Amino acid sequence: MSEGVSPARIRAGNIDRERVIEVLRSAVEDGRLDISEFEERADRVYRARTLGDLPAITEDLLPPEHQPIRLESEPVAAVFSNAGRSGRWVVPDRLPVIALFGTAELDLRDSLLLRKHSTVHASALFGRIHVVVPEGVEVRVRGWGFLGRRTTTVRRSRWNDPPVLEFEGFSMFGSLTVRAPRARRSWLPRRRRRKELG
């Protein structure tokens, strides 16, 4: 993808459209939209060519932080507060994140990466940065720390040519933690029965 492309110009996919349709369905169920409004907006969803065509369809139904498609490009800053980004959002090739006496939380599981190699400039000063990454990505944590820590529990990707998420910056009296989604357990506890001896 070429340098400087706007997230709004990225082509919309079926998963993007379905997220918007789900919001419209919920709005019909709780009476915020009638059937005719739903049909008109749904038609706009299925005619949408780019991500930029989608946010306006639900902007009056949910607050900005809960929108099904988020196109913010500004840095994530938790300054004496908490801040975060999650859901379906576009990750630029370079994303500044700062936690100053606050906590910043990034959930990248449903995000769209603009490039094969993305860099997150994550700096924590008396703050914390928590990041959840999707499965299959390669995570590289760099930078420096002074009475702080920068750690990851993400295992090496099994893919041949995985997308790379590189974390730079510093941790001074603060922390950066990067983890993968928790694996679901598919087993059930076994009950052991004692055999009765006759």
Residue 34 counted as domain residue: yes
**Which among 73, 91, 71 has a CA at the least distance from the CA of 20?**
71
Residue 78 counted as domain residue: yes
Residue 104 counted as domain residue: yes
Residue 76 belongs to what domain range?
72-179
Using the 3D structure, point to which of 39, 66, 93 is the last residue of a domain.
Answer: 66
Residues 135 and 96 in one domain: yes
Contact (CB, 8 A) for 121 and 144: no
Running DSSP on this structure, what letter comes out for residue 146? E
Residues 111 and 31 in one domain: no
- Give the pLDDT score at 113: 84
- Give the pLDDT score at 54: 94
Residues 32 and 107 in one domain: no
Provide DSSP, 98-156: EEESSEEEEE-TT-EESSSEEEEEEEEESSEEEEE--TT-EEEE-SEEES-EEEE-PPP
* Counted domains in the chain: 2
- Give the pLDDT score at 79: 96
Residues 29 and 120 in one domain: no
Contact (CB, 8 A) for 126 and 109: no
Residues 62 and 87 in one domain: no
Residues 145 and 78 in one domain: yes
Distance CA 72, CA 59 (A): 14
Kind of pairing, strands 128-132 and 149-152?
unpaired
Beta strands in 143-182 (DSSP E): 144-146, 149-152, 164-168, 170-172, 175-179
Residue 1 counted as domain residue: no
Using the 3D structure, point to which of 22, 51, 66 is the last residue of a domain.
Answer: 66
Would you give per-residue pLDDT tens digits along the chain (198 residues)? 445 568 888 899 999 999 999 999 999 999 999 999 999 999 999 999 999 999 999 999 999 888 999 888 789 999 999 999 988 888 888 999 999 999 999 999 988 887 888 999 999 999 999 999 988 889 999 999 999 999 999 888 787 888 899 999 999 999 999 999 876 554 445 444 444 444
Residue 137 counted as domain residue: yes
**Which among 61, 57, 109, 62 has a CA at the least distance from the CA of 85?**
109
**Which among 83, 85, 69, 80 has a CA at the least distance from the CA of 7?**
69
Residues 57 and 78 in one domain: no
Residue 16 counted as domain residue: yes
Contact (CB, 8 A) for 20 and 69: yes
